[in-house]
Amino acid sequence: MSKVLMKGNEAIAEAAIRCGCRAFFGYPITPQSEIPEYMSVRMPEVGGVFLQAESELAGINMVGGAAGAGVRTMTSTSGPGYALMQEAMSNFSAVGVPFVVVNMMRGGPGSGGILVNQGDYFQATRGGGNGDYRVLVLAPYNVQEACDLIQEAFDLADEFRLPAILLGDAMIGQMMETVEIKDVVRENRDISWATTGWDRKSRPRNVLFSLNATNEENEARILGIEERFHKAAERARIDTYRAEDAEVILVAYGTSARVSSAAVDTLRECGIRAGLVRPIFLSPFPVERIREAVIKPDVKAVVAVEMSRGMMVDDVRLALNGEKPVYLCNRVGSFVPMPDEIADFVKQILSKEVR
């Protein structure tokens, strides 16, 4: 396939269809409404289902029903809508229903604002639903990667039987870039667990039900989720930029990673050996990969760059466990930290840290 110029949201929708997504249920919200709009046209063309739900609450449960019936299914939303989906994320991870949710983050709390933001990090990675459950979270930093990661998200959801979230932001959803969208339709997905109607011969009766009859059953369910999540952690990866010989490492994902890579160049021009570590997985968090990139004698400081009050920085600190000093450079309220601001912040802490 050749390269085409596409808006992030539309490219993501097309990439989902090209990897066999055949059902979309969702509710409009800025900055992702191009996804349902695009799906409303494309799904009928490929014999799939598009339905505009009455709310995100209903939409995500339609997703769970359809995905639970063995069909590749997704929804897309932004923070306020994702907040309404939390009950379902808990319930469907408990019963191992794989589907993909795109969250194009906008400002919060509450209605917040419609511009770029990263304040849903906790909601996505910790989960706002009840109980001990886990979901997978992938974070693209450009449109091409968003297309690749949504296709990977469907595969990971299937493999680990957990819902997967593509955590983008208003910038990635709204900007246009050239992309090459792959065709990766999976034949013979294993749906032997799904509610497809029971022929009484080929398999046992399938029941998707998160209420447990006994403590033992509940414990086994939670440990099962945990085990699958730990297996997924082996896949958790990062990308790096000029990090090999760095004395200071910026850690950022999504749009802030893009800005941070410019900050790395600015700092290098000033003679400061800066590098970038960019987690592509946010859940499971790529602890080992980050440690490999950061726990080196040359590294004097680590700076988490975020468009939130500081959320991913907690995971960075947990990963480094006090072995390197970790700082937070952030803006809130849909302000994007500029490369120069980041560079100034780094210069300031380096003067404190070492000289």
Partner 1 sequence: MAEFRITGMHTGVPTHYCPGCSHGLIERLVMESIEELGIQERVIAVPGVGCAGLAAAYYNCDCHSPSHGRALAVATGIKRVRPDNIVFTYQGDGDLASIGMMETIHAANRGEVLTTIMANNAAYGMTGGQASPTTLLGQRTTTSQQGRTVKANGYPVHMSELLSQLDGVYYIERVTVNTVPNIRKAKKAIKHAFQNQIEGKGFNFVEVLASCPTTWGMSPVDAAKWIGTDMIREYPLGVFVDKDQGVQR
Residues that bind partner 1 in the complex, under the rule CB under 8 A:
22-23, 25, 49, 51, 53-55, 57-59, 61-69, 71, 73, 87-88, 91, 195-200, 205-211
Shorter beta-carbon distance to partner 1: residue 1 or 207: 207
CA dihedral 46, 48, 54, 60 (to 10 degrees): -120
For the CB of residue 71, give the shortest distance to partner 1 in the complex, in Å.
4
d(C-alpha 172, C-alpha 102), whole Å: 12
For the CB of residue 65, give the shortest distance to partner 1 in the complex, in Å.
3
Using CA atoms, how far residue 324 sits from 171, 303, 335, in Å, is 31, 10, 28
For the CB of residue 43, give the shortest distance to partner 1 in the complex, in Å.
11
Shorter beta-carbon distance to partner 1: residue 56 or 169: 56
How many residues appear in the chain? 355
For the CB of residue 92, give the shortest distance to partner 1 in the complex, in Å.
9
d(C-alpha 87, C-alpha 355), whole Å: 50
Rounded to 5°, angle at Cα 99 from 165 and 18: 95
Nearest CA to 115 out of 73, 34, 174, 180 is that of 174
For the CB of residue 240, give the shortest distance to partner 1 in the complex, in Å.
40
For the CB of residue 87, give the shortest distance to partner 1 in the complex, in Å.
5
Shorter beta-carbon distance to partner 1: residue 39 or 181: 39
Shorter beta-carbon distance to partner 1: residue 49 or 175: 49
Backbone angles phi, psi at 151, to 5 degrees: -70, -40
For the CB of residue 214, give the shortest distance to partner 1 in the complex, in Å.
13
d(C-alpha 293, C-alpha 38), whole Å: 39
Shorter beta-carbon distance to partner 1: residue 129 or 337: 129
> How distant is the alpha carbon of residue 193 from its chain centre?
25
Using CA atoms, how far residue 128 sits from 87, 154, 184, 303, in Å, is 8, 22, 32, 27
Shorter beta-carbon distance to partner 1: residue 86 or 240: 86
Shorter beta-carbon distance to partner 1: residue 65 or 113: 65
Write out the two tokens for 270.
Answer: 């000033």
